[in-house]
Structure 1
Amino acid sequence: MTLVDPRTVVNPAQARQLLDAVPKVGRKRGPRLKTLFACVYYAALRPEEAADLRLANCTLPDAGWGLIVLEKARPQGTKRWTNSGETHETRNLKHRADKETREIPIPPVLVAMLREHITEYGTAADGRVFHTGTGGTYSSSAHSYVWQEARKLALTPAQFASSLAARPYDLRHAAVSLWLNAGVPAVEVAKRAGHSVDVLLRVYAKCVDGQQEHINGKINEALNE
């Protein structure tokens, strides 16, 4: 599995700037996709997982942290290779058995965004939170177009020409890197991100930074007890 390149990982301020730029792209696509991208950043959802997120999967309290219980993903394929003949088809979560779920606590900022999005756009007939005006699913090319336009608006020319947040998926890498560097135990990060601990530490090895002093302090505390 490929190691995550730290040069693709945005910091929280850059992530907010990018998310704020998304609604400025187009009349409909950008505003409808902002919260989907926010789910990739604040909950480390894979884009195909966000695409199949249902209202029934979300606990969105008036205040405080909420919860997403993922059940399925909605990857894009071709009509030729899906059972339904549709471009998008609901499938099991990656690396998960049939009917296995994944629970992700979500911060108040994402709870508020999801509540606002659902109030504004409602849900599709099948309960999906993110959908086109006719209830369909935005294609990966639509995601990519909106994202690149948002990068032009939010980043400097040098940053735009670089690999910084080059793909919407890089928001997920930023989320996982942030959690690890904040000191969240690897077991918990792996659980939320849908990785094994071994894969998590291997893939994000180059993104874990600045913890040595903190860890040394913890060891000193333990030795002096």
Structure 2
Amino acid sequence: MSKENSPRTSFDPEGSVLIGACLDSLAKYWAQTKNKRYKKRQRNRLGDFLATHGDPEIWTKVNPAHLLMRARDSGSKIDPALLKGLESVYPQSIHLPWTPKDMPKRNRKKWSGDPALTDLLHQLESYGWEEHRLVLSRYGEIFYELFRNSWIHGLDPGSQLEPTWFYRGKPEYEYFRGELKFLIPLAFLVETFDQALNSFKKEVPEGYRFLLD
């Protein structure tokens, strides 16, 4: 099959948004059963829920490129000393969405190459990094930002929802339109929802009633 005739996907944003809302609802009920208070940190609630009831090998990962871009943002309020520490730990290995010249299309980067939150914290805590800053670049928090918050509250699809070549694997990076995209395929999100729901049901106390508000 020629490239022009290859199947494509628009990333199915409607499905991803729906799954995002369902997972966020499960995270809310999970927090209720555990008496966890997140107040205005709902994306941390979803991140913690996915790290607990999704695939922990994947949902505990941090996207270093996302973290570095946050740290370099002039409005991030991150101490320059923290940025220096991050750049010293990831001087060349961090992948940024610059141009295809920096990273050829054929050179994909998979989720397995990203550090777990605990490992990254161990590497960076001597530079002054604390978990509450690192965790915003964990996969679950990025997912909340892209599919839960941006779409539902801001009606903003974001650059991550651009069409790409048909893909049904686990999270991966791929160049598209000159930028390195972090892909979270819909099929993987459906699997995550099924796994998280079944896992969460096992720990719900018998007779427990959720408050719908």
TM-score, shorter chain, exceeding 0.5: no
State TM-score, norm by structure 1: 0.28
State TM-score, norm by structure 2: 0.29
Larger RCO, structure (CA 8 Å, separation 6 or more): 2
